[in-house]
């Protein structure tokens, strides 16, 4: 429960934001720097190693990508939405929550995450080709009481940031809005296919201010609709227009494969995102999860190097396009490798099973039987805690994709079982699909890491290793 000091701090932050925001209309640069000064006080106290002086220099340069990005957020975001985001994400999640989270880690000697990912439902209004979420079946749901329990217990451990996936979370849009009302101090993001976004729902997003969307895209219309169904792309474009017109914060979620990687990193695609109002873009490497997965669609090593360099250039402070994009597989160096197993996050499926990762469908705990602390101290999660990082080379972070010998040991030693109710997959079968990929990627990753190019700053472009050039 929030202390009086905590509540007073939130009120002070809120008032300081109002003063700074009011200056934006009169003097954009001055108002923006006042907002940064406000945030800096809290970020600096976290000891996160953020280069605040570098960020300040970029903000002071009106031609920098960071300056343009912040200006675009201010220009295109509703004041209430922006204020709520900063209060909940910066003050609650990053400042207050992070302090409590670190204290809990020390006290309980286990991983305590910064965010929790939940599946409100396994149901979906689409039938996308190759979607692993459908493997769970389509009639599972977490009750609003289940989700409220997770959030209440989470806040006791310092967790104020929650994500939803599925299934299609917006099948439960009324419940998601209700949870925003029940927990107005938390920040929520929902992955969505975008087809259920309408004017009434956008009005609710604007009203509560603490729920943001990450809309799935596979590329332009032909590629997107080939997987998701005819007409879906145009529905997504309409949803983006509604969200932008109403000043809502939203981004995209992009799964990249051997076939679509060039399209989803092209100038045309990124310019389209910016024009539509997208503020962030999360890129996910194809994971061959499920008995019917297609590992042949995983990117080649050359393609993986390309997207790593390309996304860093897009978000570069000097020559970026004002879009913050990140790649969970290629940006492992900035978060110390694998973030799963409660280290920074974990996943709760629509049956209530607590899984270390959204792509790792094994568990021996369930939120309907176990508290969050019991889950984080369970054998599987402690196996993650005791073995992370799984590789000192953070360009090879995953215990499945790049280190396929690791995950089977964790699963068997902890006694975890498959959570797939439709077609259970053995961990050996899953990791066998990654073995060839891991061996092919290893020499590229090792050369990049040995040359310390993998430790370059976010936004810096690195040259491919000689192996990639010669082949």
- In this structure, the answer to whether residues 50 and 126 fall within a common structural domain is no
Residue 468 belongs to some domain of the structure: no
341 plus 392 within the same structural domain? yes
Residue 252 falls inside a structural domain: yes
Looking at the fold, whether 205 and 127 belong to one and the same domain comes out as: yes
Residues 200 and 132 occupy one common structural domain: yes
Query: Residue-wise over 315-347: b if at least 16 C-beta within 10 A, else e?
Result: bbbeebbbbbbbbbbbbbbebebbbbbbbbbbb
Query: What would the pLDDT profile of 340-394 be if each residue is shown by its tens digit?
Result: 999 999 999 999 999 999 999 999 999 999 999 999 999 999 999 999 999 999 9
Q: Which of 68, 50, 115 is nearest to 89 (CA)?
A: 115
Q: What residues make up the domain containing 60?
A: 20-78
Residues 52 and 154 in one domain: no
Residue 86 lies in a domain: no
| Residue with tokens 């003063």, as numbered in its chain | 19
- How far is the CA of 97 from the CAs of 109, 210, 254, 296, in angstroms? 17, 16, 28, 41
Kindly indicate the confidence band of residue 468, based on its pLDDT and cuts at 50, 70 and 90: very low
Q: Does one domain contain both 29 and 139?
A: no
Q: 180 and 68, same structural domain?
A: no
3-state SS assignment for residue 324:
strand
pTM of the model: 0.90
Residues 68 and 184 in one domain: no
Total domains in the chain come to 2
Residue 264 lies in a domain: yes
Q: Is residue 467 part of a domain?
A: no
- Residue 1: inside a domain, yes or no? no
- What CATH number does residue 178 fall under? 3.20.20.70
Both 105 and 42 in a single domain?
A: no
Predicted pLDDT at 425: 95
Helix axes 301-314, 427-450, angle to 10 degrees: 60
60 with 105, same domain: the answer is no
Closest by Cα among 360, 292, 329, 327 to 129? 292
pLDDT tens figures, 227-266? 777 888 999 999 999 999 999 999 999 999 999 999 999 9
Interval 315-349: pLDDT, tens: 875 555 678 899 989 998 888 999 999 999 999 99
Query: Which of 60-74, 310-324, 428-442 holds the top average pLDDT?
Result: 428-442
Instruction: Say whether both 58 and 117 belong to one domain.
Output: no
Residues 379 and 431 in one domain: yes
Report if residue 443 sits inside a domain.
yes
């Amino acid at each position: 429960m929030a202390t009086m000091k905590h509540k007073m701090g939130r009120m002070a932050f809120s008032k300081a934001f109002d003063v700074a925001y009011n200056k934006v209309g009169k003097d954009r640069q001055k108002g923006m720097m006042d907002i940064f000064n406000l945030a800096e006080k809290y970020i600096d106290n976290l000891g996160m190693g953020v280069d605040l002086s570098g960020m300040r220099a970029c903000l002071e340069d009106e031609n920098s990508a960071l300056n343009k990005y912040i200006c675009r957020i201010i220009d295109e975001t509703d004041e209430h939405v922006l204020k709520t985001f900063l209060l909940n994400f910066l003050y609650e999640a990053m400042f207050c929550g992070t302090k409590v989270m670190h204290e809990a880690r020390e006290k309980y000697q286990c991983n305590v995450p910064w965010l929790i990912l939940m599946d409100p439902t396994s149901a979906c209004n689409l039938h996308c080709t190759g979607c692993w979420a459908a493997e769970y079946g389509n009639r599972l749901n977490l009750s609003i009481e289940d989700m409220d329990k997770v959030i209440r217990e989470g806040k006791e451990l310092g967790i104020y940031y929650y994500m939803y996936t599925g299934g299609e979370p917006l099948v439960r849009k009324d419940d998601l809005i209700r949870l925003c009302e029940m927990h107005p101090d938390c920040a929520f993001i929902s992955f969505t296919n975008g087809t259920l976004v309408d004017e009434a729902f956008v009005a609710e997003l604007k009203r509560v201010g603490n729920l943001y969307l990450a809309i799935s895209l596979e590329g332009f219309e032909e590629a997107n609709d080939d997987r998701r169904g005819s007409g879906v792309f145009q529905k997504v474009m309409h949803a983006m227009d509604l969200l932008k017109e109403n000043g809502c914060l939203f981004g995209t979620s992009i799964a990249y494969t051997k076939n679509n990687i060039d399209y989803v990193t092209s100038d045309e695609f990124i310019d389209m995102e910016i024009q539509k109002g997208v503020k962030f873009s999360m890129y996910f490497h194809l994971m061959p999860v499920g008995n019917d997965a297609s590992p042949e669609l995983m990117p080649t090593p050359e393609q993986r190097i390309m997207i790593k360099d390309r996304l860093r250039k897009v978000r570069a402070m000097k020559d970026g396009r004002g879009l913050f994009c990140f790649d969970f597989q290629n940006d492992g160096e900035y978060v110390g490798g694998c973030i799963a197993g409660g280290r920074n996050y974990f996943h709760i499926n629509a049956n209530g099973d607590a899984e270390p990762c959204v792509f790792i469908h094994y568990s021996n705990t369930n939120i309907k039987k176990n508290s969050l602390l019991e889950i984080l101290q369970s054998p599987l999660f402690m196996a993650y805690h005791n073995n992370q990082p799984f590789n000192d080379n953070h360009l090879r972070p995953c215990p499945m994709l790049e280190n396929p010998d690791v995950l089977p040991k964790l699963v068997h030693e902890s006694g975890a079982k498959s959570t797939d109710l439709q077609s259970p997959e053995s961990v050996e079968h899953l990791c066998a699909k990654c073995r060839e990929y891991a061996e092919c990627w290893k020499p590229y990753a090792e050369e990049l890491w040995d040359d310390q190019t993998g430790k370059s700053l976010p936004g810096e472009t690195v040259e491919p290793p000689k192996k990639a050039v010669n082949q």
